[in-house]
Structures are given as C-alpha cells and as structure tokens.
C-alpha cells in the first residue's frame, strides 16, 4: 500500500492536464470522424455505376450467345442443322448437310442444341425459305445423347409450344441390334409434328449394324431435290470441293500457347481443375495393369485408375470414358507417305468468322499432335472424304473410282463396300494402295473425323473402391483382307499404359458418364446378372457392392451370376474372386458356361433355360431384377429369347404373352441392358 501512494499523488496533476487536452482532442476526433463518414457516404455513392455493371448483362449479349435466329439473320443463313451426337458421327453428318446447302444455292449453319435456346424454333419462320434439319443419334437404351438431353427435356415439357411456322426434317442414327432402334430420331420427328411443325421430307434412319454411310447417302440424295421443290429453288450444280477452314502456319510462336493433346483448356493436363467432364478430363494415374487370361491368343486386361483428390464420384454401373491416342508408328507412316514435316505448328481457322466452331480441333497445334490426339485415322473414311480427296489423285482412273465410291449408284456403293469397308482400309491403307493420291495434309486434317472417347463399363464399386476406377477390356487386333494388321486404338493404347513407363507414372485422360444401369433400390431384391466375356465388368462392381451391403448388416437378396467364356483354363477371368465370393455367400449362385470345352457349344442362355424353375421363381415370385451386359448382336437377343422360353415353359404363357411380360419388366426397370455391337 505505501508503495502505491507516491504513484497516486504523482499522477493526479497529469490527469488535470489530460482533461484540458481532451476537449481539443475531442474536437479533432469529432471532425475526423465526421469527415470520414461524409467521405464514406460520398465514395459509396460513386460505385453506383451498377447500371454500368448491368450493361454487361444486356439482352444483346445473351442474344448473341444463345440465339441461333439472330446469328442466322446476321450471317444470311436460312438452313440450320442441329445434331445430337455421342461419338461424333451425327455431328459429321450435320456438317456435310450444312456444306451441301451451298451447292443448292442456300446457306447453312451447324448447331449444337446444348449451346442455343431451342425455344426459338418457333421464330424460324422469320427467315425466308428457312429449314431446320435434325441429325439425332440414339444412345444406350433409347436415350438422347448427352448434348441433346436438354432439347429432349424441352420437347417433352412444352405441350403448348406452337411450331406451326417451322419447316423441318430428321435423320436418325441408330443400330438395329438394340431394342429401341432409332428412338431419338423417331421421337423428335413425331414430336415436332405434334407441335405443329411441317415435315418437308420423310424421317431418314441410318443403321450402324448395316451400312450407316450408305443409309445416309441414299436419304441425302432424295432429300435435297425435295428441298429444292418445296422452296422452288434450283440446284447450282456446283459439285466442286468447298473448304471450310484455311491453313495458317506459325513460324514464330511461343510453344506455351500450342496445344499438345488437351481436349479443352490449354495446359489443362498440367494444371488440373475440377469439375472433370468431357471437355475437361482428369488425368488418372494407372496403378494396376494386369493380364486376366491364363492362356490363349487374346489379351484380356484389368486396369485400375487412381482418382484420389479429383472429387470424381461414380456408382456401380456407370461408364468411364477414356481419351486414347493413335499409334505413333501409324502417325509417322502417314507423315512419310505424304512427305510432310509433322512438327510444323499450324492453325486451321474457320472461313465463316461467325461460326461457334473456330477450328476443327484445338489450335494452334502441330500436325503430329492433331494426327495423334485429335483425328480418327484408323476407321475406314466415309464417302464424303473420298469425294473431297479425289481431286488430288493424279491418275484419272483413281479419281474416277473415288468419285464413283462417293456416288449413290449401285456400282459405286458396291465398290465402296468391298474396297473400303470389307477390306477395312483406313486412310493410310488407301494412300498406300493409291500411289497417285497425295492430298495436302491440311485438307486431310480438315476432312478426317475427330478421335472420340471410348466408353467402358466400370468394373468396381465406389463403396469398396472410392478412389479407384477399374476397367476390364479385351485388346482388339485382327488381320484385314489386304493382309494388314489392324489394331483397336483404345485397347492397344490401354494395354501399353504400364504402371511406370521409364520412371514416369502412366496416366489416362478420363471422365465419368452416368448410367441407368443400377442395382435395385431395395437390397432385398434378388439380382440375376448375365455377362459373358468382358460383359462381366459391371457385375464385378455389383458383387462388390452386395458384399459391402452384407458387411453393413443389411439384408441382401439372392445374387446370381451367369458368366461365359471359351475355356476354363484360358479365359475364365476373375475366377479366384468369383469363386471366393460364392464361398463367402455374397454370390448365392455362380453359373459358368465354357463354350468350347466340349463337342457342342454351351452358352449362358443354355444355363438359364437349364435352371428355368429357379430363374422363374426369382423373377415372378421374388421380384428379381435382370441385368444383361455384353454383345448386343447375338448374346443379348439369345438371352432375351431364353427368358421368353422360361415364361412359356414354366409360366405357362404364349409367346406373345411372354414377350409382353419381358417388355413390362423393361418398363418397370427390372430388365436392364448395357450392350454394345
């Protein structure tokens, strides 16, 4: 306490001084605060250029971005070709029809329905002699392609839409081996008519199981005369080649601005940013790449892709899309045959400056990158490519044959079928077998279709493998009629994706495509899975998931698998895993058909009918869900027939009743197929 006294007496005068000083400070502080408040209010008012801000969002910009009508008016176009494409073929056909328009004295533009407001179709009548063409592919089990999904939804939801001023025609792309052949083309054609639009030419239907190219060419040959007649115009008769892009060679360019295989954003493989999709794939490291079969001349493989940190989510039954590259030996040979430096940096720029598609593939890039990453050089070229390239053949006989193959004459069709399709001649084989044909490489790059992503059924469950996606595939390799060896692009590329390649981790550009191929919502529902060969892929995931559900203490219904392969000692893939899951009760029944281990062939459908009583009980009494995966052309049809027979023999139905019964199962989502041809 005595220590405190001197301090107290010492501070008192100081308090008096501060009190007198405070009044001055108060005034000063007050004026500073007032000035600050005034300044704050004034300065706050200034960023009131919110109207200025809104200028960025004016209707004109939206119009320019999503209005195909305004774009057509601005560029003098009267024909618009929309495409719904999953593998690029419908887009390719759309481009050909748009190009054709010029030959008939009209002007066409190609449009992705995903990029435009399709509600504007009713305004197309504002443009004289206007026409909308729809090239619509069907994907999976009668579904629209990804880019046509919104358009499909719009057609379904807008019953009061009036399209009475719209002239249209539809060409559908499908495959007869599938249950819902050309469903999307048929739906668009019928729905547009229901909404009041005028069909000016019959629905065209291309069958990829037959000859899609021939179907398209035959339809197109009749379509244009009908258009000319409808609008009272005459064909210009100009059959000359029409270039869509012009070449620009870059001699002095910063290589950091050159595309090296990226699908969308430049340097996207160096700096990866989610979300990952078809325009921004994730570069997934390969952690496992092993051969599945013990013997035989085929190569069946199991790959595992690491998706750690990608935020990618998937479910059992989904598909993984991978972006392969062409064989470098094939690319080099193409460069040598054409006598070009493949490392020249180029851009192909659209001559139509208003087009949304500025380049046929990401530019600037090199010819080597374009032919390796962006262009399809392994499929037999379509007739329009032959037609356009014919002018570069110095031998008149070669020119004549190429033009003949591109015509719709029976002789020309037969020649194209035998010389190109049946002989599986790709562009390199054609150049080798026609030494007089040496087109400029830039025109060839303009004409070749884009190299597409390949889809595989995922062979894992995210419940068990949340950071890994598994692929099961068979390497495609065969000898052609000309004695050449043709190799499947994606499967051979995947085969060579070793876990470490010269000390570097191999990676695969990929994304997920959602599927309707799903396990039942109720785990108590039994499942019957039929998947011979690599058709087992999604069922590996299904079995893993049912096992996981059991571990969680859930009640799980019967899990029955019908698998098939050639020989037990050769290609019984996943044998240890399957027999292990049967042993621990996850797989309640494992049925394997070894087709060539005895004198007569035994397939999965034979085992189904052999177990018909059990199969019928599961379906008819226990509400089982049926899943088929694999070959669409033969297996899926034969299996479906086996189910008809079971319904007849055990269920006492007639064939008509059996067919209706299976159709009802499909409608209810209890009969699902993931098939390919």
Residue 90 annotated as part of some ligand binding site: yes
d(CA 450, CA 430): 19
Tell me whether residue 88 is annotated as binding.
Answer: yes
Residue 136 sits at φ, ψ, to 5 deg, of: -120, 115
To the question of whether residue 261 is assigned a binding role by annotation, the answer is no
Residue 540: closest CA among 627, 430, 425, 413: 627
601 is annotated as contributing to ligand binding: yes
Given CA atoms 122, 124, 125, 129 in this order, what sign does their dihedral have? negative
Is 491 annotated to bind ligand?
yes
Q: Please tell me whether 473 is known to bind a ligand.
A: yes
To the question of whether residue 661 is assigned a binding role by annotation, the answer is: no
Q: Is 478 annotated as a binding residue?
A: yes
CB 314 within 8 A of CB 460: no
**137 annotated to a ligand binding site:** yes
> Any known ligand binding at 489?
yes
CA angle 430, 436, 442 (to 5 degrees): 70
472 among annotated binding-site residues: yes
Q: Is 480 annotated as a binding residue?
A: no
Q: Is 488 annotated as a binding residue?
A: yes
> What are 278's two structure tokens?
């078809």
Neighbours of 359 (CB within 10 A): 18
| Residue 605 annotated as lining a ligand binding site | yes
Distances 676 to 263, 535, 542, 630, 636 between C-alpha atoms, Å: 25, 10, 19, 6, 9
Please tell me whether 18 is known to bind a ligand. Answer: no
Phi, psi of 151 (to 5 degrees): -65, -45
Our answer to whether residue 629 is catalytic in this structure is: yes
609 is in an annotated binding site: no
Report the relative pairing of strands 527-530 and 625-631 from DSSP bridges: parallel
| Residue tagged active-site, from 100, 189, 442, 674 | 674
| Residues 280 and 264: beta-carbon distance below 8 Å | yes
Q: Is 676 a catalytic residue?
A: yes
Strands 527-530 and 198-199: unpaired
| CA atoms of 195 and 119, how far apart (whole Å) | 12
> Is 674 annotated as catalytic?
yes
Query: Distances in Å between the alpha carbon of 244 and those of 17, 96, 361?
Result: 89, 11, 13
Neighbours of 429 (CB within 10 A): 18
> Is residue 176 marked as binding?
yes
181 annotated ligand-binding residue: yes
Backbone angles phi, psi at 351, to 5 degrees: -70, -25
Cα(263)–Cα(373) distance, rounded to whole angstroms? 9
The answer to whether 454 is a known ligand-binding residue is yes
| Ordered alpha helix ranges (H), 611-672 | 612-616, 635-649, 655-667
Say whether 455 counts as a known binding-site residue: yes
- Is 87 marked as a binding-site residue? yes
344 is in an annotated binding site: no
Choosing from 457, 462, 506, 672, the catalytic residue is 457
Q: Write the secondary structure of 423-467 as one string of H (helix), E (strand) and C (coil).
A: CCCCHHHHHHHCCCECCCHHHHHHHCCECCCEEEEECCCCCCCCC
**Of 219, 419, 493, 676, which residue is the catalytic one?**
676
138 is in an annotated binding site: yes
Enumerate residues 6+ apart whose C-beta is below 8 A from 5. none
Q: Is 86 annotated as contributing to ligand binding? A: yes
Cα 602 to its chain centre, rounded Å, is: 35
208 labelled ligand-binding: yes
Active-site residue identified among 462, 565, 629, 672: 629
DSSP-derived letter for residue 509 is: E
Flag whether 474 is marked binding. yes
Residue ranges for the known binding site for FMN are 85-90, 137-140, 173-182, 208
Residue ranges for the known binding site are 85-90, 137-140, 173-182, 208, 298, 454-457, 472-474, 478, 488-491, 534, 595-596, 601-605, 638, 676
Q: Which residues are catalytic?
A: 457, 629, 674, 676
Residue ranges for the known binding site for NADP(+) are 298, 534, 595-596, 601-605, 638
Residue ranges for the known binding site for FAD are 454-457, 472-474, 478, 488-491, 676
């Amino acid at each position: 306490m005595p220590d405190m006294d001197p301090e107290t007496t010492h501070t008192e005068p100081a308090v008096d001084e501060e009190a007198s000083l405070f009044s001055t400070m108060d005034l000063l502080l007050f004026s500073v605060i007032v000035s600050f408040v005034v300044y704050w209010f004034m300065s706050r008012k200034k960023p009131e250029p919110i109207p200025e801000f809104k200028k960025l969002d004016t209707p004109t910009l939206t119009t320019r971005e999503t209005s195909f009508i305004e774009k057509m008016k601005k560029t003098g176009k009267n024909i618009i070709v929309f495409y719904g494409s999953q593998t690029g073929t419908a887009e390719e056909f759309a481009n050909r029809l748009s190009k054709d328009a010029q030959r008939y004295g009209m002007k066409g533009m190609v449009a992705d329905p995903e990029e435009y407001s399709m509600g504007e179709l009713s305004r197309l009548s504002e443009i004289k002699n206007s026409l909308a063409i729809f090239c619509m592919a069907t994907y999976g089990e009668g579904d629209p392609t990804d880019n046509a999904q919104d358009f499909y939804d719009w057609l379904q939801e807008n019953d009061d839409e009036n399209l009475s001023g719209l002239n249209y025609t539809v060409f559908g792309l499908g495959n007869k081996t599938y249950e819902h052949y050309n469903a999307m083309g048929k739906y668009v054609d019928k729905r547009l008519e229901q909404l009041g639009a005028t069909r000016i030419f019959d629905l065209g239907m291309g069958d990829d199981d037959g000859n899609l190219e021939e179907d398209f060419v035959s339809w197109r040959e009749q379509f244009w005369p009908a258009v000319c007649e409808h609008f009272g115009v005459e064909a210009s008769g100009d059959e000359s080649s029409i270039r869509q892009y012009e070449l620009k060679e870059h001699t002095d360019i910063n290589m950091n601005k050159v595309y090296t295989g990226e699908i969308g954003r430049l340097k996207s493989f160096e700096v990866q940013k989610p979300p990952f999709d078809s325009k921004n794939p994730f570069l997934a490291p390969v952690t496992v790449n092993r051969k599945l079969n013990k013997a035989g001349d085929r190569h069946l493989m199991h790959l595992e892709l690491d998706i750690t940190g990608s935020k990618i989510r998937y479910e059992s039954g989904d598909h993984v899309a991978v972006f392969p590259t062409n064989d470098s030996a094939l690319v080099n040979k193409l460069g040598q045959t054409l006598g070009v430096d493949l490392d020249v940096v180029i851009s192909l720029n659209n001559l139509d400056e208003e087009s949304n598609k500025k380049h046929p593939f990401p530019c600037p890039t090199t010819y080597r990158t374009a032919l390796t990453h962006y262009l399809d050089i392994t499929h037999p070229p379509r007739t329009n490519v032959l037609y356009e390239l014919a002018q570069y053949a110095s031998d008149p006989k070669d020119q004549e044959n190429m033009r003949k193959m591109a015509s719709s004459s029976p002789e020309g069709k037969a020649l194209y079928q035998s010389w190109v399709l049946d002989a599986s001649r790709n562009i390199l084989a054609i150049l080798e077998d026609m030494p007089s044909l040496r087109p400029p490489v830039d025109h060839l790059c303009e004409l070749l279709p884009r190299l597409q992503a390949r889809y595989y059924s995922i062979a894992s469950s995210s419940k068990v493998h949340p950071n890994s996606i598994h692929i099961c595939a068979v390497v495609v390799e065969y000898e052609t009629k000309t004695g050449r060896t043709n190799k499947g692009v994606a499967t051979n590329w995947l085969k060579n994706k070793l876990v470490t390649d010269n000390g570097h981790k191999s990676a695969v550009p990929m994304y997920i495509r959602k599927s309707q191929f799903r396990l039942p919502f109720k785990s108590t529902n039994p499942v019957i899975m039929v998947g011979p060969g690599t058709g087992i892929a999604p069922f590996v995931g299904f079995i893993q998931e049912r096992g996981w559900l059991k571990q969680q203490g859930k009640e799980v219904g019967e899990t029955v698998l019908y698998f098939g392969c050639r020989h037990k000692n050769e290609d019984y893939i996943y044998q240890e895993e399957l027999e292990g899951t049967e042993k621990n009760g996850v797989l309640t029944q494992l049925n394997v058909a070894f087709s060539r281990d005895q004198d007569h062939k035994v397939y999965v459908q034979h085992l189904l009918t052999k177990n018909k009583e059990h199969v019928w009980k599961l379906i008819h009494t226990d509400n089982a869900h049926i899943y088929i995966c694999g070959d669409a052309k033969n297996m899926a049809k034969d299996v479906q027939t086996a189910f008809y027979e079971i319904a007849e023999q055990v269920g006492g139905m007639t064939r008509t009743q059996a067919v209706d019964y299976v159709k009802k199962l499909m409608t209810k989502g209890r009969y699902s197929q993931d098939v390919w041809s």
